Structure 1
Amino acid sequence: MLGTLDGGGDRTDPDPINRLSAKVNAVVALMTPFDLARQREHSGGVPEALFVGASLDPYTSPTEVERRRYAAASPIIYVTADDPPFLLFHGDKDAAVSDEQSRAMAAALDKAGVEAKLVVISGGAHGRNFGLASADDRPAGYFVMITQWFAEHPK
């Protein structure tokens, strides 16, 4: 979520810390749910309901408070052209968070003109060896990619 929020400080706040920007320069996201309403369809809804404090059923109208709460908690709706570059990792065998989440986020970032790279891990499952291991269990190359990503995107 931090990658898609403005992060601008509040110049009128009396606390000097709150006057500073919290905007990040680059993002690495691992097997992340970016659209909680769609993730709810995949997971059965319990984790999202606990996080958002509301549950959705298939008949919930988009104008209801519950639907708005899910949208407000979903980073994908905050994507704008001034967002930092994103490196997304997702396993194609992730049973907890569908890889469609990262595919949709990459598409939304691309549409906004934000640099995004999606790395789909063949055989990767959720949380297994940092969620990045393929069937051969060699995640070290992914850590190198992450290090390079941050090195290439300083501001």
Structure 2
Amino acid sequence: MIGEMDAHSVAGYFRNKSILITGSTGFLGKVLVEKILRVQPDVKKLFLLIRAPDVESAKIRIQTEVTGREIFRVLKENHGAGFDNFIEEKICPLVGNIMKENFGLDNSQLKEFSKDIDIIINGAATTNFFERYDVFIACRVFTYSLQFSNE
């Protein structure tokens, strides 16, 4: 009973919120994206930080590595022909890189998208298993120095 209440309160908290998710192309990231969209379809927007040269490439990467995976089968069945529109409405690719300061975004990009972010979920990790330990820890554990200002 308590676990159910906790799940409902988390799902309720995500209603009408915009969430920045790092690591969405990884195993846990795509599970998280699917779960949020399935249990809280009233989430406002999921900004997925994607390493890509441009927005179109990021969209393709999301389609092939995230929403095109088997884990999204239930959502596809639930939404039927409207699945692509639902995904287009809810998921916004954000081209950047967790290993760069401020995700590699310039100040105007940071200011623009930070106005819309309510929650940040860090699921990113280095995929280089031979990475220096300090680099691994920095991208996996510590909070970003990204400064959001709503001026």
TM-score range, shorter chain: 0.3 to 0.5
- Give the alignment's TM-score, normalised by structure 2: 0.39
Q: Give the number of the structure with larger relative contact order, counting CA–CA contacts within 8 Å between residues 6 or more apart.
A: 2
Structure 1 or 2: larger helix share?
2
Larger radius of gyration: 1
